[in-house]
Amino acid sequence: MTEQTGYGDIRAGVQRLCEQFPGAYWREKDEQRSYPVEFVHALTEAGYLSALIPEEYGGAGLPLGAACAILEEIHRSGCNGGACHAQMYTMGTLLRHGSEGQKARYLPDIASGALRLQAFGVTEPNSGTDTTRIRTRAVRDGDDYIVNGQKIWISRAEHSDLMILLARTSEREEAKKPTEGMSVFLVDMRTAVGNGLTIKPIKTMMNHGATELFFDDLRVPAANRIGEEGEGFRYIIDGMNAERILIAAECIGDARYFVASAAEYATGREVFGSAIGRNQGVQFPIARAHIQTEAAAGMVWRAVDLFEAGEACGAEANMAKLLASEASWAAGDTCIQTHGGFGFAVDYDIERKFRETRLYQVAPISTNLILSHVATHELGMPKSF
């Protein structure tokens, strides 16, 4: 499957849906720092958020490429999938490693929208990307685990019914390998908040619902542990390639939004008696942004093809995310430069999209860590840490 030959109907449907949520809607949400409930509801009702859930559980059972097309078109249309994209990749942990009972209990309600699985609790203040050094601890106590610790930069926690949580069930020093001794839990946020879980919002430069979580003797049923105890790191890593490919697709959507906006403005804006787009000094940066975007899109779909074929795609997923995030940032910068002062005007939406797309050179994995991965795993160079 290639980008050019597939998912035309899905793309057209997403575009029509996004037309119901114009710039004014997103400007209001951004100003109020509020969650786009109506937009997420519309995506859920249309079945787009359950695209990757198998049909037997009420989803569409579509491949990763379809999810990429959905998220790309959301961003290309000027909307923001950050409010709900996590459901697509966090669900994979439950789907691939959950028990039949867990899948039967939760996936149909996630597919219908009765339950929202939008929170992914991994990052901690003192470990950052070094996941093996997380300190949040889950200790078995009869039929429960008691969880204590802290998480940070957990998006959408205030707007999610369920959360995938990674915690240590044995000390790092006790394990044969640093990646062992961590387990994954499905936390019911509806009952956890106020009963051992405290959520503290973090105000950031974009409306992304970032939070800090505090666990104080939170009881989680042992039945909510996903997979085997101590194998959680492997389960989490298993879903990270999909996460990076999906985020890369969003960045391609952002980049195409910026390129189209810049080209349209340059063609219609007249200064000194002619369109500014007649000047090569204006044309060339936009053309370069377009070329950079299309090259990055090629890597995204290469990663998609490998993922769908069940082949190793760690390097391609990382490279796709790096190239796409840099393409969207460069296209956004060019778009602002083309618009001049109007590029900073809130009513033009460009500054909002510019802030939103900047996130993806840091999250879900930073550019430097991708470069480190490629240097050591693809080029055979010595590790620096």
The verdict on residue 196 lying in a domain is yes
| Same domain? 283 vs 263 | yes
Closest listed residue to residue 212, CA positions, set 145, 125, 129? 125
Dump pLDDT digits (tens) for 52-81.
Answer: 999 999 999 999 999 999 999 999 999 999
pLDDT at 92: 87
DSSP bridge partners of 213:
151, 199
| Same domain? 365 vs 249 | yes
The full DSSP string for 242-288 is HHHHHHHHHHHHHHHHHHHHHHHHHHH-EETTEEGGGSHHHHHHHHH
CB-CB contact of 87 with 164 (8 Å)? no
Dump pLDDT digits (tens) for 345-374.
Answer: 999 999 999 999 999 999 999 999 999 999
| Same domain? 266 vs 353 | yes
User: Which tokens is 122 given?
Assistant: 């991994």
Residue 3 has pLDDT above 60, yes or no: no
Which single residue is written with the structure tokens 């219908």?
112
Residue 6 has pLDDT above 80, yes or no: no
User: Which tokens is 361 given?
Assistant: 């050179």
pLDDT at 275: 98
| Same domain? 161 vs 179 | yes
Residue 4 has pLDDT above 80, yes or no: no
CATH number of the domain that residue 185 is part of: 2.40.110.10
Distance in angstroms between the alpha carbons of the first and the last residue of the chain = 38
| Same domain? 331 vs 223 | no
CB-CB contact of 244 with 321 (8 Å)? yes
CB-CB contact of 133 with 170 (8 Å)? no
| Same domain? 24 vs 55 | yes
382 prior amide bond cis, ω within 30:
no
Structural domain of residue 291, as residue ranges? 234-378
Decide which of 43, 78, 112 is a domain's last residue.
Answer: 112
Inter-CA distances, 31 with 27, 28, 84, 207, Å? 6, 5, 19, 8
| Same domain? 105 vs 220 | no
| Mean pLDDT over each residue of the chain, to the nearest integer | 96
Confidence at 91, pLDDT banded by 50, 70, 90: confident
Q: What 8-state DSSP symbol labels residue 378? A: I
| Same domain? 128 vs 68 | no
CB-CB contact of 209 with 35 (8 Å)? yes
The verdict on residue 2 lying in a domain is no
Decide which of 164, 196, 230 is a domain's last residue.
Answer: 230
Residue 2 has pLDDT above 80, yes or no: no
The verdict on residue 326 lying in a domain is yes
| Same domain? 356 vs 305 | yes
For 109-171, give the secondary structure using H, E and C: HHHHCCCCEEEEECCCCCCCCCHHHCCCEEEEECCEEEEEEEEECCCCHHHCCEEEEEEECCC
Confidence at 329, pLDDT banded by 50, 70, 90: very high
The verdict on residue 384 lying in a domain is no
| Same domain? 200 vs 249 | no
Confidence at 35, pLDDT banded by 50, 70, 90: very high
CATH number of the domain that residue 321 is part of: 1.20.140.10
Domain total in the chain: 3
User: Which tokens is 62 given?
Assistant: 């579509």
| pTM (predicted TM-score) | 0.96
User: Mean pLDDT over residues 113-127, rounded?
Assistant: 95
Decide which of 84, 112, 140 is a domain's last residue.
Answer: 112
| Same domain? 183 vs 93 | no
